[in-house]
Amino acid sequence: MTIAILDDDLNEINKIQDLIFNIQGDYRVEHFQSGRALIEAINQGETFDLLLCDIFMEEENGMDTAREVRRISPQTGIAFITCSREHAVDAFSMDALHYVVKPVQQQDIIEVFQRMERKTDPRHILAILINRTMNILYQDEIIRVESHGHNTVISCANNSVYSIRKPFYELNKMLDDSFIQIKKGLTLNMHHIIRMTFRECVTRDGFTYLLRRDQAKEIRERYFAFVRQELTS
């Protein structure tokens, strides 16, 4: 596994490297004390399986660097190791593997490695019949499921859209626990919600939706509980 450590504190870098090498395995570790240096290395052809990224650095925000890494190297797993829980929801919106609050412990690094392995686990699928052809969709790629008259429309992260002759409530029952119905006829995948406010939420593809007024508090609480579970389980 090739690992990049981004932290402007050399003592922290050395500590994390020691924790990594305490775990049996084949690793190549490189460290960077600025986001600019990391991005330059990737642009010059370096590839990393995992980025361990500090957020609060003197001259840079590691979250901004992580977003750029996600853009230019989407296969790189990202885990944040930082001193505050302030950016936990932002980390979740980037599909981070983990969010570790310093001081980092051995078990924290072990957990990051375990989550890297779980990324290869079988994914939940959704089998739908369209024009007598069976289509297999990965549920984690579905952004929204919405009712359109007698049809139900499924929108995916790869811009694919499927319209099927199946009641909305029946399709909802086929979805896993990462989906939440935010109003009548609309269910969203919480993995693709990047912002949740008092009255509305925003999905990864830029759409904004008002929450159902009488259930807004419940929806927010379930979403934030989901975020916490994803980051700590």
**pLDDT at 132 (0 to 100):** 73
**pLDDT at 211 (0 to 100):** 95
Angle at 144 between CA 100 and CA 189, to 5 degrees: 25
Q: Which residues pair with 164 in a beta bridge?
A: 152
* pTM across the whole model: 0.59
Start-end of CATH 3.40.50.2300 domains in the chain: 2-118
**pLDDT at 125 (0 to 100):** 84
List Cβ neighbours of 11 (8 Å cut-off, separation of 6 or more).
Answer: none
Query: How would you classify the pairing of strands 179-183 and 133-138?
Result: unpaired
**What is the Cα–Cα distance from 96 to 73, expressed in whole angstroms?**
14
Quote the tokens at residue 220. Answer: 């927010």
Return the half-sphere exposure (C-beta side, CA atoms, 13 A cut-off) of residue 92: 24
List Cβ neighbours of 9 (8 Å cut-off, separation of 6 or more).
Answer: 54
**What is the Cα–Cα distance from 187 to 184, expressed in whole angstroms?**
8
Question: What is the second-level CATH architecture of the domain 125-232?
Answer: Beta Barrel (2.40)
Q: Which residues pair with 153 in a beta bridge?
A: 146, 163
**pLDDT at 131 (0 to 100):** 78
**pLDDT at 84 (0 to 100):** 84
List Cβ neighbours of 130 (8 Å cut-off, separation of 6 or more).
Answer: 162, 163, 164
Start-end of CATH 2.40.50.1020 domains in the chain: 125-232
Q: Write out the chain's pLDDT in tens, 233 residues.
A: 999 999 999 999 999 999 999 887 888 999 999 999 999 999 999 999 999 999 999 888 999 999 999 999 999 999 999 898 888 888 888 889 999 999 999 999 999 998 887 775 667 888 887 877 778 899 999 999 999 988 999 999 999 999 999 999 999 999 999 999 999 999 999 999 999 999 999 999 999 999 998 999 999 999 999 998 888 76
2-118 has which CATH code?
A: 3.40.50.2300
* 61: number of Cβ within 10 Å: 14
Nearest to 151 by CA among 161, 159, 143: 161
